[in-house]
């Protein structure tokens, strides 16, 4: 049987990562394949609220063009020909229920970090590189995921964390990345953004930050032409930068 072709990571990708003053990580899809848990949590909230909505993977893939859980619910509601009227307060309550259930799902330990992520963190820290997080999700969701994956003191390794509700406009707007640059007091070319979606690529690119894409379950077919490198995952890269 022919051996599987090894996944070759371009050596330039390792160089880009090693030479950066700071690595800025997206969360959902990049650190872990969380969107299936988010999707289950949304469906749980709809059922709890007595709504006969159910987002299957096909519907969710399309809805993921809309960043932000509350905005995603509103976008789906707007598309319904016949739908109960939902106030912003009701959508916020739906999203609260969803977020609570997402944390319960993450707490089962079923959502591990993607290959190479933990090793990349370790290698970066070993080189004195600064780490940051720029995401559309919430502080609570990051805490649930990373305290489980990296332990209760995970935040000590990240100099800055900016989430969707910390800024006026969510990705693909550049706001979260511009806020991270301001907090780190770094110029865009001195950093690298690690992302998984076209929305994330556009957001970081608009902030002037070079982007390395790690393909994820829901965004594999996105247009990544503006990325410096596109990888299937970070495992090979983590090995290369260790050596
Ligand atoms: C992905 C998102 C988030 C999550 C759901 O964020 O767009 O909306 O899908 O989380 P990232 P919330 O920038 O990390 O890829 O329900 O908390 O929005
Ligand atoms: Mg993402």
What's the pLDDT tens digit per position in 41-50? 999 999 999 9
11 — pLDDT class (breaks 50, 70, 90): confident
Q: What pTM did the predictor assign?
A: 0.95
* Cα 144 to Cα 18, 38, 100, 137, 138, distances in angstroms: 29, 12, 10, 12, 10
Give me the pLDDT at residue 8, please. 59
Ligand having the closest approach to the CA of 64: 1
Give the nearest ligand 1 atom to 134 CA: 13
Q: Which residues contact 161 (CB under 8 A, 6 or more apart)?
A: 132, 133, 135, 139, 142, 155
Q: Is the pLDDT of residue 100 over 70?
A: yes
Give me the pLDDT at residue 163, please. 98
Give the nearest ligand 1 atom to 30 CA: 15
Q: Is the pLDDT of residue 171 over 70?
A: yes
Residue 62 known to be catalytic: no
Query: Mean of the pLDDT values across residues 179-193?
Result: 98
| Averaged pLDDT of the chain | 95
What's the pLDDT tens digit per position in 105-151? 999 999 999 999 999 999 999 999 999 999 999 999 999 999 999 99
Q: Is the pLDDT of residue 63 over 90?
A: yes
State the distance from the centre of ligand 2 to the C-alpha of 72, rounded, in angstroms.
14
Query: Mean of the pLDDT values across residues 67-92?
Result: 94
Q: How much of the chain exceeds pLDDT 70, in percent? A: 95
Give me the pLDDT at residue 9, please. 65
243 — pLDDT class (breaks 50, 70, 90): low
Around ion ligand 2, residues with a beta carbon closer than 5 Å are 26, 28-29, 196-197
97 — pLDDT class (breaks 50, 70, 90): very high
Give the residues surrounding ligand 1 with Cβ less than 6 Å away: 26-29, 35, 38, 67-69, 135-138, 141, 171, 197, 200
Q: Is the pLDDT of residue 1 over 50?
A: no
State the distance from the centre of ligand 2 to the C-alpha of 201, rounded, in angstroms.
9
């Amino acid at each position: 049987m022919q051996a599987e072709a090894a996944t070759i990571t371009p050596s330039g990708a390792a160089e880009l990562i090693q030479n950066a003053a700071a690595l800025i990580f997206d969360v959902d899809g990049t650190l872990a394949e969380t969107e299936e848990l988010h999707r289950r949590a949304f469906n749980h909230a709809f059922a709890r609220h007595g709504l006969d909505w159910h987002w299957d993977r096909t519907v969710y893939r399309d809805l993921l063009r809309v960043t932000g859980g509350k905005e995603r619910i509103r976008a789906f509601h707007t598309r319904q020909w016949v739908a109960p009227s939902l106030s912003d307060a009701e959508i916020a309550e739906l999203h609260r229920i969803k977020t609570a259930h997402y944390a319960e799902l993450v707490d089962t330990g079923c959502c591990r970090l993607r290959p190479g992520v933990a090793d990349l963190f370790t290698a970066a820290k070993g080189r004195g590189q600064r780490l940051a997080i720029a995401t559309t999700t919430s502080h609570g969701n990051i805490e649930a995921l990373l305290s489980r994956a990296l332990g209760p003191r995970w935040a000590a390794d990240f100099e800055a964390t900016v989430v969707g509700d910390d800024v006026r406009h969510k990705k693909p707007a550049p706001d979260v990345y511009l806020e991270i640059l301001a907090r780190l007091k770094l110029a865009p070319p001195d950093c690298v953004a690690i992302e998984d979606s076209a929305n994330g690529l556009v957001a970081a690119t608009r902030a002037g930050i070079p982007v390395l894409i790690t393909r994820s379950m829901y965004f594999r077919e996105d247009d990544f032409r503006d990325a410096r490198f596109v990888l299937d995952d970070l495992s090979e890269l983590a090995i290369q930068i260790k050596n």
